Amino acid sequence: MSNTAFQLVESKTVPLTREFLDQFVGFTPSPVERERDDKRVKHLRSKYDAGLWTPCSWVTAKVRDMNDIEYRANGFHSSTMLSALDGLLADGLMVHWDRFQVQTLDDLALLFRQYDDRKSARSPADVAGAYQGLEEDLRATPRVPAKLAIESVNWWRAHVERSPTAKGDDRYTLFHERALHPFIAWVSADIFSGKVPELAKEPVVASMFVTFEANEIECRSFWHKVSQGGDEYQEGSPDRVLSDWLRGVYQRENAELAKVGPGQLYQGCIYAWNAHRRGEPSIKSIRHDARRGWLKAIA
């Protein structure tokens, strides 16, 4: 298959031997190659050490009328990391090696853009969807709120419960905790069935999780009212005051609300819930100071 900008000359999968690694590292760096990023090299080493290494996609290219020089066009960071392993290079490693002919240096830049392009990168949403898809009872659950539910539980464990938590994309392995599935399904189908951006914050959804654990039946009723704007017949009801407050925080209605942080959001939600569970018919405002410790959700 030919292309006006670049033409594939050869494509093969080869064993990653020390000899081939040295050969690839020895190719002339192309002028379009990325600058060395030590954090990226460290990240690749961590994947290698964790047994998560997959065959690399390495690319070289010759530019017409440029002295037959074969440039390294993709694979700088992975080959740099592997070269530093010295005697630790594992057996059985493979590399996909594509060799191209390009017309100009601009075409070389265009070829470089075809590998690891931003649109093709695995996003957190893609990773979350992969783990969610492994759980049969959650496959039909809307992915965006399901992802938020998992992130919110992880936020609560890290900041309120102060327990060890997963980092980065590893957070989404929480989809495997079947005890979380009823909460994920409920919050995705009921609370986020409409547009409620003021509720789509990790601390807010974390408070939903805590109240769901405390009293599922009352939680479903309370948060449904909050998502609908609160009790229209009871001006000071906790659910209505909370709904108005969350909307004000989201819209940054004034300087004070603009300063409300994640911990204060969580604390304010639990304060309103507790007022509701105590049977208080009305409250004047949302208390959200968390400096004296986190409020416990009343069952």
| CA proximity to 81, closest of 41, 34, 39 | 41
The predicted-structure confidence for 197-235, as pLDDT tens digits, reads as follows 999 999 999 999 999 999 999 999 999 999 999 988 888
Tell me how far apart the terminal alpha carbons of the chain are, to the nearest angstrom: 66
Q: Is the pLDDT of residue 150 over 90?
A: yes
Q: How far apart are CA 55 and CA 141, in angstroms?
A: 34
Biggest alpha carbon distance in the chain? 84
Residue 157's nearest CA partner among 177, 132, 138, 137 is 177
> What pTM did the predictor assign?
0.81
Architecture of domain 6-120: Alpha-Beta Complex (3.90)
Average pLDDT, the chain: 92
Q: What is the DSSP letter of 299?
A: -
Residues 26 and 18: their CA atoms lie apart, in Å, by 12
| Mean pLDDT, residues 38-42 | 93
Full DSSP string of 8-24:
EEEEEEEE--HHHHHHH
CA distance 8 to 6: 7
Q: Which 3 state secondary structure label does DSSP give 95?
A: strand
What is the DSSP code (8-state) at residue 253? -
Domains of the chain, by residue range, sit at 6-120, 124-277
Tell me what the mean pLDDT of segment 266-276 comes to. Answer: 97
Q: Does the structure show a pLDDT above 90 at 117?
A: no
